Structures are given as C-alpha cells and as structure tokens.
Chain A
Amino acid sequence: MGSKMESPDNELVMACRNGNLRNFQILVERYKKPVYYFALGMIGNADDALDISQEAFINAYKSLSRFDDSRQFKSWLFAIAANLCKNALRAAAVRRKYLGSDGVIDIGAVNAADPEKCLITKEKKEAVWKALSEIDEEAREIIILKHFQDMSYKEIAEVLDIPAGSVMSRLHYARLKLKNALGEDCR
C-alpha cells in the first residue's frame, strides 16, 4: 500500500472499481478528517458527524461505478456528504439549534503573553460559530467549504453542482447573512 499512498485520487478510484478495497482505504484515510469536520460544521454534533462521514464513504464506494472520471473525487465525496447532512437535518425535522462551542469549536488556550487579545479572539470565535449555526444551511454549507475547508471556487462549484461563475456571488450573499447574524460582533 505504501507506494500508492501518494497516488492521485482518480487513479485509486479506477483501482477500486476492480474490487481493490485497499485503494479505497487510502482514499478514506486521505479524506476522513476533512469530511468529518465538514459534517461537524453542518450538523454541530460529533456523533452524528462521525456517522454521516462514514456513511458518505460507504455511499461513495457503492456508487463508484457511476463516478464520472472527469470530476474530482474529493468534490464528489463532499457532494455526497453535503446531501447526507441536509437529509439528516431535514429528518430531524427541526433546524439545528446553537449547541455552544463545547465539543465543536476548539477555542484554544489563552496565550499568557497577550491574554486580553486571546480573550477577544475567543469571544469572536464563539460569536462566529453561534452566527453560523443561525444562518440557513445553504449559506452555512458554502461558508464552511470556503472558510474551513479552504476549497477553490472550482471545487465549490463541483460540490454544489452550480456554475463556477455563481460561486462568488453565492459566497457574497452567504457572508452577508453571516455578517448580519454576527451584528456588532463583526466589527
């Protein structure tokens, strides 16, 4: 497996199609954390996020024969995870409530050299997470993909299945919503 650790995603997908589960394990190891953190940002609950992220890999494996090679595996995987998150939120029948930063956002330790600044940053992080949990799931989704997954506009367009040219404006409106939810905390 060692030499394959650096193989491109789509090469591993091709090998998986031939029934080689070891190659799929490499893809899982490569993306388990990003997919989990994405689900955690969307759902706000560690147990559910873990379950959804694993289910995303299972669904991806079962559907590998339908994977379009011209796409990036990462974007396709995130699209699956995004839809599972939305289904889970809808199945819960209630919009996600603010769960607090405990267990979701790592607020970080206070820097002894500048505790005041650290405290302000902590408060801001909490305020941003609270605002994120209050905006609609579509706005939250694109903000998490950009701000927390650091995806390019091209990758975001693939995940959301929208034209690449729409990503900038979608992000703008999502950020407006986040800014409004933040209120004075944004300044």
Chain B
Amino acid sequence: MNCQEAMIYISGRIDGELTTEQEKMLDEHLQTCPRCRKELDELLKLKEVTSNMRFTDLPDKYWAGYWHAIYDRLERGLGWILLSIGAIILAALGTWEIFRHFFLDPVQPILLKLAIGSGLLGLIILIISVLRERLFARKHERYEEVER
C-alpha cells in the first residue's frame, strides 16, 4: 500500500467504515510511515472538534409552527392550481364567445376582425411562450433533485 491509498483508508478508519482486511493493510503501512501517522492524528483531532460542534438551535416557536408553515404552503399550492384551472376554463369560454359574437358576425368590418384577431393570437403566443419557459426552468432546475 502506498501513501496515497493509505490517506484514503485513513478517512475510512476514522469513520469506522474499513473492512478487517483494509484495517490490517492500513496498520501495516502506518507502522512504517510517520507521515501517514501524522495525517491520522490530525484528522482525528479535526473529527473531535467537529463532533463537539453544534449548530445554534432555532427558538421553539419556529419548531412549533414548522408543520403548519408546510401545510399552509401545500394548501396554497392546491389553491393556485384550482384557480389556474378556473381561469383557463373562463378564458377558453370567453374566447369562444368572442369568436361567436364578433368574428362570426358579418356586420363587423374585416379589417377590425383582422386587427383584433392578430392581437389575440399574439397574446396567446406570448402566454404559451412564457408558460413553456417557466415549465422548462422548473423541470431543469427546481425539481431536478427529485429525479435522483
């Protein structure tokens, strides 16, 4: 075993993750290598310091309200989904009514129909584009972790 391998095994030893065979190989190396013994000592000291380190706890009121905050956010999410479905249905119905009463009305001038039709089509393209961009960003960043 060379020093580079021994250094990696040292990490395994301080974490208690070496097999009996690996422990034996490391012991043999440590008996002849003062540099690796020094490395082991330093890492043991480092582990001792970190094992005594604690993150500052939050005040109890945060822990008491923790679940409610999650529940509220989940509930709000459901609210947004229902609102969006309602808005989409209303928009579709509205568009159909406009089409029926305005675009199919022979009294309305063609030029006006073209202008309003073009504006509405542009608005629909913009909305679809923004939605697609949002969905792409959400899929590739925000929820990437969920696939792992």
- CB neighbours of B53 from chain A (8 A): 105-106, 125, 128-129, 147-148
Q: How far is the CB of B84 from chain A (nearest CB, A)?
A: 15
Q: How far is the CB of A156 from chain B (nearest CB, A)?
A: 10
With beta carbons under 8 angstroms apart, the residue of A50, A61, A66, A128 that contacts B49 is A128
Q: Which residues of chain B (41-74) have a CB below 8 Å from chain A?
A: 42-43, 45-47, 49-58, 62-63, 66-67, 69-71, 73-74
Number of B positions contacting A (CB below 8 A): 41
Q: Is A161 an interface residue (CB 8 A)?
A: yes
- CB neighbours of B7 from chain A (8 A): 172
Q: Is A12 an interface residue (CB 8 A)?
A: no
Number of A positions contacting B (CB below 8 A): 55
Majority DSSP secondary structure for residues of A touching B: helix
Q: A50-B62, A168-B17, A172-B10 are in contact. Are A82 and B54 (CB under 8 A)?
A: no
Query: What 10 A-B pairs are tightest by C-beta distance, nearest first?
Result: A83-B145, A147-B50, A63-B146, A172-B11, A106-B54, A106-B56, A172-B8, A80-B145, A168-B12, A37-B55
CB pairs A–B below 8 angstroms (8 shown) = A54-B66, A106-B54, A106-B56, A143-B50, A161-B148, A171-B15, A172-B7, A182-B46
In the complex, given contacts A32-B66, A37-B55, A54-B70, what are 19 additional A-B residue pairs having Cβ atoms less than 8 angstroms apart?
Answer: A25-B71, A46-B56, A46-B58, A57-B70, A58-B73, A58-B77, A59-B143, A59-B145, A59-B146, A61-B70, A61-B74, A105-B55, A105-B56, A108-B54, A125-B52, A143-B50, A171-B15, A175-B11, A187-B45
